[in-house]
Every structure is written in C-alpha cells, then in structure tokens.
A and B are shown apart, each in its own frame.
Chain A
C-alpha cells in the first residue's frame, strides 16, 4: 500500500516519509549500543555539567598518585617510592565506592522506575543481553579508575628510566598483575553496584545503599582487625574492597601492610572463594530481578 501522489499532496504538513533500506545490524549492535549509551551515562556525556563532576573528579583523583609518583621519580630518581602497583588500588580504594554509588544507579534505576525496559525488550535483545550490556558499561567505566592510572604509572616508570628498553623488561613482569587486578576490581564492583541499584526504587536510595555497604563494611572491618584474635581473622570479609585485595594478593602476590588481609590468618584462597560467591550471588539476584519485570 503506497501513497498516491494526490493523497500525499492533500496534507499540508506532508513532507514525505522515507523508508529505510539500509542495514539492520541486529542483536550484537543492539548490545553494543546499550554499552555505548551506558558509558555516556557513566561519564555524564550528553548530560548536564553537574553530572560530570563526580565521575571525572574520581578519574582525576585516582590518577593523581600516578602523576605524583612519576614526577617524583623524574626529579628524585629511585630514592623515594610514592606508590607501587600492588598497593595502588588499595590507596585510591576510597574513590571506588563513591564512583560506583554515583554512576551505577544512573545505568539501571531509571529504566526500571520509568518502565523503559519494555522498549528495550521489544527490540532485538533479550533480558540477559540488557543486563550484560549494563554490567559491561559499568565495568568499562570502572577501568578508568582501576586500570588506567596504574597503566599510567607503568608507562611513566618505563619512560622516565634512562634505559627505556631495560626498564620495560624490568617492569613488564608486573603487567599481568596490573591488568588482572584492575579487571577483577572493575567486574566485581560493577556486579555489586548494578545489583544493588536494580533493587532500589530511586537513584538516591541506590547510591545510599551502595555507599552504606562499603562504609559500614569498611568500619566493621577496621574495628575487627584492631580487636585482634578471631575477629581479626574474619575482619576482611566484611569489606568488599578487602576481599578484592585478598583475591588480588592470592592471584598476583604483593601484600599491603594496612589491609585487614594482613591481620587475618585466613588462607588467601578463601578471598578468591568469597569473590566468586559475591559475584554468583549478584548474578542470581539479577536473574530473578529482571525476570520479574513485566513488559
């Protein structure tokens, strides 16, 4: 059924409808575009200036130690070690909950609250595709804090050396730990942030809940660690960041004196198990949560 010319010219505002004959890229493109849209949301792109403050502030603050360390190294040589690859994430760890609490709700809460999900699910993507895309967007966003600064530190240390090639040889052994630890932190934290957010009715509640988990966990963990004895053994397990630090140490080595992991006698593999458990729990909650959403 196509419009006859008479019919088309009879309507004043008819400016001609053009059909689309180009490619339809299907499910993969749908998922990619949700990840892309998610990253824009995480960094406040296409949004007001105010929504850029926390994400970009966190990225800049997280990179600061790397710049300081490089500057010190350039000026003072190897006399003073400002930070190391192992302890970098623990040192900037405070920024992670803030970034997560501010940006994870941005990704999922409004889609549920304003019932946008049926519009996604009536396109070539499944519920699992949608959740996977949002988790990916959050993880990629977190890498700007958990990986980028440490890579900057790595690059700085190599380039600041007198013999760049030799320095690269010296430092390259740390690369798997840098990348592995950064990716581990990003993925697990994304799971926690997205899961908690998906259960909250409003962005503010979600942000509060995420901050609460890390704040309460951190305080309890510190108190337990200071008490000593059996409480010190379980101390790291109340704080997600300490669990991640234990897992990092288990996988890649390098202990940090201030981490509650040091005060605990728990074997390192238990941190790995705890991390896996948290991730699986988040997955299960997400599956149930998104299955229950009616379209």
Chain B
C-alpha cells in the first residue's frame, strides 16, 4: 500500500491581518477524486496554495508526493496542475497558443507541448474554436481552457478550485462529467475544492470537510450519508409533547420542531415496539403523523449546528 500523495501535520496559516485561515490541519489524502468541502473562507484555497508551495505556512508541515511543500515547491509544481477559482486567461491570444505556452512553462519540450495541447484541448471539448482568441469565449469555454492548462503537462495531482464557478446548469454537468473522467479514466488524482455539496456528492469518492481552518471530518463519501441508527418521526404540529411521552417510556428521544428523533440504541424490545409506542402516543395526543423513517446522514449536516452529528 503506497503512502498518501499528500499529508499535512498541524498545518496553520495566519495572515498578517490576524486572520487564521488554517488552524492545525492534519490530514492525509490518497488517490481518486477528492472533495475538499467547506464554506467560503473555510481555508480551502489557502490549503491548495500551501500545497503548491505558493504560500508559506505559519506552522506545521505539508508534504506532496513525498516532497516538502515549503522547500521543494518548484519540484512539486512540475508534477501538479492548478486551476484557480478566478478568471486567469489573457484575452488576446488563442487557446492553442496559450495552453502550449503554459505546457512549455511547465517544462515540456516544444514538440511534446504542441502534441499534448492538441490532445488536451480535444479532451476538454474545444475543437475549431481553439484557434480563436480567448477574449471571445463563453464562460464555459474559458473554464475548459483553464482546465486544459492545468492538465496539459499530465500532472500526478490536479487541484481544481471551485471549477463550476459561473457556469449554467448544463455547463456544470459537463464540467463535473469531465472531472469524473479525469479522475476515473485518466487516473489523475483530482482534488476539487467546492462549497457546493451537491456537486461534490456526484463526483467525489472521498471527502475532506474543513470548517474555519480545522478538519471536520475525512472519510469515504459513502460514510457521510450512511444510516445513523436513528428514527425520524415527522408530525404535523409541535412535536415536543410526543418527545416528552416517549422519554417517559425510557426512549432516547428529542424534539426538533415538528420532528422527533429517536435513538434506536436506547430502545428495548425491537423497532416494532417503537412504532407501536409512537402510534399510541400520537393517538393519545391527537397529533397527526406524517411519516416515520430511518434517518440518514446528509452531507449538509456536517456544517449545521442545529442537528445531531453536525459541526459543534
């Protein structure tokens, strides 16, 4: 089993103004499509820039492909690709000219740069238009050029910062499809920073959630949405009286607005005993029931403070 591609230990970045962007982040990142999720300002971009060797951390250590990001940035940057969040393309040259120039700057010989530019632009779906000036491109086409320049030197790791920014729904779908292909078919480990959980859910196999510069959780995507061992009872009115009655029966139950959440581990006599108890108590209270279901974790729970299992 190979070691992680990227690892950080106690990574901290404090900006001169006193803002702490990363706060003792320790995480290991393996292969695949990895979602780096967090609200705006959570520290996603700062983490990427430190891993690229563009920013120096205040404390801690970051290793990329077994190289120290603080001292071997130049070597790391030969082997990784980076697509920034913001616009970053000159308008007055063609995509072909720009991407092949960037391939050269990445260290590819002229011939290889030309060949790979043609290949990569085709892979991202730019055909005849690649000879036109970038200034006339749509947002979707510009995003493809941004992706192409990050991919042209065949990096081992690809960092994409909010790659669907500014795209319409169709453009988002296409971009996500491309990223999925890069991770799955091209075999390039891709780290996608995003604040849009729905998108990450579609493409990532592994998730790293950070909040206020701290690691919230790192785990396979599936484990973020697995069953919680809890039952949700939705009612049509305030559910507090129902929760009270269930607690009286010795169940672990809490009311959240019109929902009651029951911890199945606290129930003796099996699940059916709960259903019977809920029915009986609801009838006694005259409280209409809407549904009873097993509660699953949702990705959004990570960043919510008002549900169990969310950020504290």
Interface residues of A (CB under 8 A from B): 1-3, 7-8, 11, 13-15, 17-20, 22-27, 29-30, 33-34, 36-37, 46-47, 110-111, 114-116, 118-126, 295
Contact = CB atoms under 8 A, between A and B. Distances in A.
Interface in B114-128: 116, 119, 122-123, 125
Contacts of B92: 47, 110
Interface in B76-121: 77-82, 84, 86-93, 97, 101-102, 104-109, 112, 116, 119
A24 B108 contact: yes
A34 B116 contact: no
Nearest to A33: B104
Interface of B: 31-32, 49, 52, 54-55, 74-75, 77-82, 84, 86-93, 97, 101-102, 104-109, 112, 116, 119, 122-123, 125, 149, 153-154, 181, 183-187
17 contacts: A1-B32, A3-B186, A20-B153, A20-B154, A22-B112, A24-B106, A26-B74, A27-B74, A47-B92, A114-B91, A116-B90, A119-B102, A120-B105, A122-B52, A122-B82, A123-B78, A124-B77
A121 B52 CA distance: 9
Contacts of B78: 24, 26, 123-124
A116 B88 contact: yes
Contacts of B102: 119, 123
B153 A119 contact: no
Q: Is the interface of A mostly helix, strand, loop or mixed?
A: loop
Nearest to B177: A11
A111 B105 contact: no
Nearest to B74: A124
Contacts, number: 124
Given A11-B181, A27-B74, A122-B52, A33 B101 contact: yes
A17 B153 contact: no
A14 B119 CA distance: 12
Contacts of A123: 77-78, 102, 105-107
A118 B88 contact: yes
A115 B149 CA distance: 14
A122 B54 contact: yes
Contacts of A18: 119
Find the residue from A2, A3, A36, A295 having the highest chain B CB count within 10 A: A295
B74 A125 contact: yes
Contacts of B91: 110, 114
Contacts of B97: 46
Contact of B105 (A15, A110, A114, A125): A125
Given A20-B116, A115-B87, 18 more contacts: A7-B184, A11-B181, A15-B122, A17-B123, A19-B154, A20-B154, A24-B107, A33-B101, A34-B105, A47-B92, A47-B93, A116-B88, A116-B90, A119-B149, A122-B54, A122-B77, A123-B77, A123-B102
